[in-house]
Amino acid sequence: MAVVSSSQAGLRAAPKATILQLRGPELSARELEREAALLVASSPVPVLISSRCDVAVATGAAGVNLPERDVGIEFARGLIRRGLIGRSVHSLDGARRAQDEGADFVIYGPVWSSASHPGAEAVGVEALARVAAAVRIPVLAIGGVTEARVAVVHHAGAAGYAAIGLYS
> With 0-12 CB in 10 A as exposed, 13-18 as middle and 19+ as buried, what is 103?
buried
pLDDT, tens digit, for every residue of 80-104?
988 999 999 999 999 999 999 999 9
Q: How many Å apart are CA 114 and CA 138, to the nearest integer?
A: 22
Model pLDDT, residue 134: 98
Model confidence pLDDT, tens digit, residues 125-150? 999 999 999 999 999 999 999 888 99
CATH 1.10.3720.10 fits 2-163, yes or no: no
First to last CA, the chain: 18
- Count Cβ atoms below 10 Å from residue 14 Cβ, excluding itself: 24
16 pLDDT tier (thresholds 50, 70, 90): low
Please tell me the distance from the alpha carbon of residue 10 to that of residue 140, in angstroms, as a whole number: 22
pLDDT per position as a tens digit, 50-82:
999 999 999 999 999 999 999 999 999 999 988
pTM of this prediction exceeds 0.75: yes
Residue ranges of domains in the chain: 2-163
Asked if the model's pLDDT at residue 45 lies above 70, the reply is yes
- The confidence score (pLDDT) of residue 165 equals 66
Strands 139-142 and 160-163, sheet pairing: parallel
- Report strand pairing: 47-50 vs 2-6: unpaired
